Structure 1
């Protein structure tokens, strides 16, 4: 028996759009998880310091704020690196298209 070949009826533009959308969702989820982990780490560290040092609630307040600041700083760095990566990728892509057209 011959197997029927299935052709993907999805146009290349649709696939790249879906890939871009999926990539954006993954990046957004990763950014949210990074912020969540930083803040939770600050809260648990602050609670622990308060128990050990008996400084309630100052350890919790300080470490929670420190966790939030470090989380937002991490988000800022990731977004900047993502923007730099996108601009490099698009300039590389445009340069390759120019070479193909000139060939």
Structure 2
């Protein structure tokens, strides 16, 4: 069962990295077309969405490490 939890965790990492960046590309492209500012808003959106993606990844991994450390401490006690 633990093998599947790790697989799901890796899939979540991939989704959490890819979707915000793709959303930034599509939103930035749409806003550039709407306002007529060719690459400026696209680049800003990519940077903002990539930073939010990395922040989400950091939170997810740090939470997973905290849970893993708690399990190891509980296993050592019991």
Displacement of 1:94 in angstroms is 2.3
Q: Equivalences for 1:1-103 in 2 at 5 Å?
A: 19-95=1-77, 97=78
Give, in whole Å, the separation in 2 of the partners of 1:54 and 1:88.
52
TM-score normalised according to structure 1 size: 0.70
TM-score by length of 2: 0.89
The Cα shift of 1:84 comes to 0.5
Higher RCO structure (Cα 8 Å, ≥6 apart): 2
- Alignment gaps of 5+ in structure 1: 1-18, 98-103
* Larger helix fraction of residues: 2
The alpha-carbon deviation at position 20 of structure 1 amounts to 2.1
The size of the alignment, in residue pairs, is 78
> What is the root-mean-square deviation of aligned Cα atoms in Å?
1.2
- The structure with the larger Rg is 1
Q: Which runs of no fewer than 5 residues in structure 2 stay unpaired? A: none
